[in-house]
């Protein structure tokens, strides 16, 4: 019996070594953790339960029968993050470059099936050279199997991808279908075709970092939701995010102890809005002053900076935040901002996370590049997302809410539950100057008359009271009381029930 137990331990030790000490040292020399070290950082200490440690590939072509490693280049299993269960897989670059084989894919599919069945998030730690060429179509079939699981898990359990090394070719499409993608600067990259292929086909000379590095995807393509300095920071941020999310679509978000007063008054908010209505201010300040302990987990902070998205807690409960940012493009909605916010709103709605919308929007960004790029369709994505959402929705208009952008930003007409406005709010079809020049076109050239008409328009419409008279605004509130009013609004909506007409699925304007 003792011999058998020692043999088991020897096999386990071999499996834990992955591709061997030399390759582990090479991984460390690049500033990267190994697949097992990443799991240890991500999960609660001692909580990891591994599946399929001894699985090996079955390929005998091109001498592969002599290159077998226990686990076949991916570590799978489950564990806990702050006591809550998650499933995960971690690709091991020390084993055949982390390449995906038929059995490698089967291991990933197995834990995804278990995650869907048991209602827990799936986290993928990606570090792979792509499909295992020696297996040919069998490896490609394995990728397609994983893609199908991603589709079935979407909206059922949260899916998080962390790109911690190469992710190229077909491999990129699994992370692309997950809810969040995080990357590590200078050591991870994603692209469909690499720099060599790009040079051959288009004669462009570009580095892997420029083509598909973390900074590129976090700031230009919007593929990545965050880019972090190293493996450790990325994994700690994933822990922080998971702590804010429900385990599945049948559960409410977690409620955590909080040490902030629910009745906190923020007098500084009374002077947040500048006297000059065209002067910018930082919407981050409002978000942090509403949040418990000022904690804001921002999503895609380096992309479409004219709109903010992310998670806060109010009285310990997770709330999704969408907020126009007057510091960038005056807070206008454009193609990128609409796409960014629409995807975030749909995620929140899928997982029963209430949505807080902070509005200061002068309209949609004008210009040929926006119209040619399809701002109509892209703007409709955000409109559609808000309109279909059945979760509690609370909206606060701080300053401008002009034109169609007023409608789009979680207005009462899109089934907003509580729609508040500050006294500084301006709710109108357009700004006073533009409206006056259209209404009183015959007086153009007479500066005194135009100024008088503009003042009259401002007095009549550049305020929240016309909308409040019609019931489109539920209450005009003091800025200092915003946290209290918003928290009470969400508390009153905890048992909200609302459903859309039966359908197989909707047809969002993609």
Instruction: Copy the structure tokens of residue 508.
Output: 């969002």
Burial 74-97 (b: 16+ CB within 10 A, else e): bbbbbbbbeeebbbbbbbbbbbbb
Instruction: Copy the structure tokens of residue 170.
Output: 């077909």
Instruction: Copy the structure tokens of residue 439.
Output: 């209404």
Q: Is 6 exposed, middle or buried (0-12, 13-18, 19+ CB in 10 A)?
A: exposed
Active-site positions read 169-170, 404-405
> CA 413 to CA 495: how far, in whole Å?
21
Q: Are 434 and 458 in contact (CB under 8 A)?
A: no
Residue 241, CB half-sphere, CA atoms under 13 Å: how many? 25
Taking CB atoms within 8 Å and a gap of at least 24, the contacts of 68-73 are 69/15, 69/18, 69/19, 69/95, 69/96, 70/11, 70/14, 70/15, 71/15, 71/18, 71/95, 72/101, 72/103, 72/104, 72/107, 73/97, 73/98, 73/99, 73/100, 73/101, 73/104, 73/128
Q: Find the helix packing angle between 35-42 and 231-242, rounded to 10°.
A: 40
SS3 114: helix
> CA 353 to CA 324: how far, in whole Å?
19
Cα of 474 vs its chain's centroid, Å = 30
Q: Pick from 309, 343, 320: which is nearest to 510 by CA?
A: 343
SS3 158: coil
């Amino acid at each position: 019996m003792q011999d058998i137990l020692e043999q088991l331990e020897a096999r386990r030790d071999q499996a834990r070594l992955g591709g061997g000490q030399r390759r582990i040292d090479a991984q460390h020399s690049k500033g990267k953790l190994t697949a097992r070290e990443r799991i240890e950082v991500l999960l609660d200490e001692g909580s990891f339960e591994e599946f399929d440690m001894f699985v090996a590939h079955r390929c005998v072509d091109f001498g592969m029968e002599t290159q077998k490693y226990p686990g076949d280049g991916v570590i799978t299993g489950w564990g806990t993050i702050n006591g809550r269960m998650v499933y995960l897989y971690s690709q091991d670059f020390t084993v055949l470059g982390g390449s995906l084989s038929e059995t490698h894919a089967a291991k990933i599919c197995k834990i995804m099936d278990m995650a869907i069945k048991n209602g827990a998030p799936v986290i993928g730690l990606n570090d792979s050279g792509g499909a295992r060429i020696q297996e040919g179509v069998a490896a490609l079939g394995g990728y397609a199997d994983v893609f199908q699981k991603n589709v079935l898990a979407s909206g059922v359990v949260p899916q998080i991808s962390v790109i911690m090394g190469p992710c190229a070719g077909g491999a990129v499409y699994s992370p692309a279908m997950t809810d969040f993608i995080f990357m590590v600067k200078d050591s991870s990259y994603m692209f469909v075709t690499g720099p060599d292929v790009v040079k051959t086909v288009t004669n462009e000379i570009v580095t892997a970092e420029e083509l598909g590095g973390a900074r590129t995807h976090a700031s230009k393509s919007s593929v990545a939701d965050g880019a972090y300095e190293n493996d450790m920071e990325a994994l700690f941020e994933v822990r922080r995010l998971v702590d804010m999310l429900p385990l599945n679509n049948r559960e409410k978000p977690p409620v955590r102890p909080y040490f902030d007063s629910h009745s906190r008054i923020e007098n500084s908010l009374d002077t947040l809005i500048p006297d000059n209505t065209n002067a910018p201010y930082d919407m981050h300040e409002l978000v942090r002053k509403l949040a418990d302990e000022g904690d804001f987990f921002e999503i895609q902070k380096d992309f479409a900076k004219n709109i903010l998205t992310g998670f806060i807690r109010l009285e310990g409960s997770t709330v999704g935040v969408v907020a126009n940012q007057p510091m960038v493009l005056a807070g206008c909605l454009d193609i990128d901002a609409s796409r960014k916010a629409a995807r975030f709103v749909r995620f929140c709605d899928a997982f029963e996370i209430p949505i807080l919308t902070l509005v200061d929007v002068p309209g949609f960004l004008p210009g040929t590049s926006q119209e040619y790029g399809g701002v109509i369709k892209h703007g409709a994505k955000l409109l559609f997302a808000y309109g279909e959402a059945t979760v509690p929705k609370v909206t606060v208009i701080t300053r401008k809410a002009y034109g169609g952008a007023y409608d789009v930003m979680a207005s009462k007409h899109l089934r907003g539950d509580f729609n508040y406005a500050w006294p500084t709010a301006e709710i109108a079809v357009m700004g006073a100057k533009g409206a006056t020049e259209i209404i009183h076109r015959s007086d153009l050239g007479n500066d005194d008359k135009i100024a008088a008409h503009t003042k009259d328009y401002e007095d009549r419409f550049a305020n929240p009271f016309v909308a409040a008279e019609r019931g489109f605004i539920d209450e005009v509130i003091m800025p200092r009381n915003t946290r209290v009013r918003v928290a009470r609004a969400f508390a009153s909506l905890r048992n909200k029930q609302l459903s859309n007409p039966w359908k197989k699925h909707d047809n969002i304007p993609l």
